[in-house]
Chain A
Amino acid sequence: MIASLHLFGRLMMTAVRSQMQYRGAFLLMALGSFLTTMVQAIGIWALFDRFGNLGVWSVAHVAFLYGTINIVFASVDITARGFDTFGSSLIRTGQFDRVLVRPASTVILVAAREVALNKLGQLLQGILVLIYALIVLEINWTIGRLALYVFAVSSMYAFFYAIQIVRATMSFWTIETLEILNTISHGGMETAQYPMSIYKESFTNFFTYVVPLACVAYFPIVGVLDMPDPLGSTLLTQSLAPLAGFVFFAVCLSFWFFGMKRYQSTGS
């Protein structure tokens, strides 16, 4: 385990160094990532400015949710780049055969193959929005709330990483990366930026019981912010909900190993 982590760290550092060879391109792309995600924040600001609060949710409450999700999502994008490009760069080219003969876990080798440093732009954007929320909200941080927040953030990370693994796993069969799963990853991020209670019931149910997005984001954050929940969750369910993110990760990881057993090289 220690040896794997060490290897993971070494490979990641190599990937970072290789990216930093193109500093100008990196800065431009990071700026692009900052701007593309910033437009969403501008949209949210415009709507709150026009309409006022969304029930009990003020713009600062939504900013807290939005900032947190953006930070986690960007962190996943940065560290899961290897899975993101898996279909096009490892499966279609037949390069995955070479990964298979190496004496380390495929998960580590694929994950640490590339980093997407350009997403630091989105990360920065999320941090700025979160800082704004923290200044306005003046949350009374108890140990319990802080623990729940850390639990929620790590569960969110596991959740979004798991979706990247599923996307990559699908390409064992489809060869190409399936863009359609973007609706769950990017669409999920978009969805979770607003309180779940504003959506239609069938939609909320899908994102609670089938894909547990609400369990990793909305419910625990409602607990941290100590807000009333029209969906009827209690502090107990809010505190336990993030577990679903880790279960989801475990299921997706076993799907990866299942897919790997079925892998037939493209032979090119």
Chain B
Amino acid sequence: MDSLVTALVRSYAAVVAARFRMLLQYRAAALAGIATQIFWGCIKLMVFGAFYAVAVTTPPMTFTAIVAYVWLGQVLIGLLPWNHDPELQELFMSGGVAYELLRPLDLYWFWFARTLAYRTAPTLLRMVPGICFATLVLPLIGLPEWALPAPASVTHGLLFSASFLATVLLSCAITILITISMFWMIEGRGIATFMYGVVPVFSGMIVPLPLFPDWMQPFLQWQPFRGLCDVPFRIYSGDIPLAMASQEIALQFAWAVILILFGYGLIARARTRLVVQGG
């Protein structure tokens, strides 16, 4: 039994590794991507800076917390689950999904492994130059107030790592739900289209969630997309107090588990009624 589990884990790990190596090929695209992201980050900081300069009441976040929020968002934007693996969509269009069902692996975890690589490999490529720019280059060119600060403390840094792990799981779980929707709609863009609107706003990628009107906060607090940006970024900067951090991370993991179970159940249902496209 034990060796069976090891063999299974090893095969999923192999899937991740193989996809990861393939996706790391796109280095030039990643460089262009991060240059765009850096430019965007600078615009955002100037816009937030202008609003902070005219603020009459004290904003709910410090500007340093905003700077950390913006740069972590720009660097990790590839993790946002607003699109899905185009190669998996291709499988649905061509009928190749039938072969996927034949593999001696569980379909959900097989796709989870693929998605994990799809989400993390391009992000990793962008992260290194992006973080170098935000921590080292900005102070050198005379803009230290824009530089990405270090985590508020070592404890905050460790809690951020835990929260970040939950973010990755959550992001993969949502991405897979988009893929699974293709069992019902070949044009997988149906669900993805709504994600374009929902994910950037409710994760905090467009505007940090605490800056939204106070009457929206109770709702924003509990929805799952918040775990994609808002929670880890604010733990990093210390904007979420240490006492609250573990509770927030627990909520992230809870949402990840719920969405994974939901996706798992959907795949089980879809398998029984799948009609493969011929051709």
Contact = CB atoms under 8 A, between A and B. Distances in A.
Interface of A: 24-25, 28-29, 31-32, 35-36, 38-40, 42-43, 46-47, 49-55, 178-180, 182-183, 186-187, 190-191, 194, 198-200, 203
Interface string B230-255: 00000000000000000000000000
28 contacts: A24-B187, A25-B187, A25-B189, A28-B189, A28-B190, A32-B193, A32-B196, A35-B196, A36-B197, A36-B200, A40-B206, A42-B206, A47-B48, A47-B207, A50-B51, A50-B59, A51-B54, A51-B59, A52-B55, A54-B51, A54-B54, A55-B54, A180-B32, A187-B43, A190-B40, A191-B43, A198-B47, A198-B50
Interface string B6-42: 0000000000000000000000010011011001101
Contacts of A39: 196-197, 200-201, 206
A51 to B, nearest CB: 4
Contact of B212 (A24, A50, A198, A200): A50
Given A39-B206, A191-B43, A47 B51 contact: yes
A236 B32 CA distance: 39
A261 B189 CA distance: 40
Contact of B39 (A24, A46, A51, A187): A187
Contacts of A47: 47-48, 51, 207, 211
B61 to A, nearest CB: 10
A44 B87 CA distance: 35
Given A25-B187, A39-B200, A47-B211, 6 more contacts: A29-B189, A40-B206, A42-B206, A50-B212, A180-B36, A203-B46
Contact of A179 (B36, B46, B206): B36
Secondary structure of the B side of the interface?
Answer: helix
B189 A187 contact: no
B213 interface: yes
Interface string B46-64: 1111111011100100000
Given A28-B187, A51-B51, A46 B194 contact: no
Nearest to A55: B54
Contacts of A190: 40, 43
Given A32-B193, A38-B197, A54-B50, A183 B187 contact: no
A179 B212 CA distance: 32
Contacts of B47: 47, 194, 198
Nearest to A179: B32
Contacts of A24: 187
B46 A200 contact: yes
Contacts of B206: 39-40, 42-43
Interface residues of B, number: 35
A230 B146 CA distance: 24
A25 B32 CA distance: 29
A183 B46 contact: no
A37 to B, nearest CB: 9
Given A29-B189, A53-B54, A179-B36, A35 B213 contact: no
Contacts of B36: 179-180, 182-183, 186-187
B218 to A, nearest CB: 16
Q: Which of A31, A40, A47, A50 has the most CB of B within 10 A?
A: A50
Contacts of A52: 54-56
Contacts of A29: 189, 193
Contacts of B50: 54, 194, 198
Contacts of B187: 24-25, 28
Contacts of A182: 36
Q: Which of B56, B192, B212 has the most CB of A within 10 A?
A: B212
Contacts of B213: 46, 49-50
B2 to A, nearest CB: 47
Contacts of A51: 51-52, 54-56, 59
A24 B187 CA distance: 9
Q: Which of B36, B55, B193 has the most CB of A within 10 A?
A: B193
A220 to B, nearest CB: 21
A46 B197 contact: no
A35 B59 contact: no
Nearest to A182: B36
B256 to A, nearest CB: 24
The 7 closest A-B pairs by CB, nearest first: A35-B197, A198-B50, A32-B193, A43-B206, A179-B32, A51-B51, A43-B207
Contact of B35 (A35, A183, A199): A183
Q: Which of A46, A49, A52, A190 has the most CB of B within 10 A?
A: A46
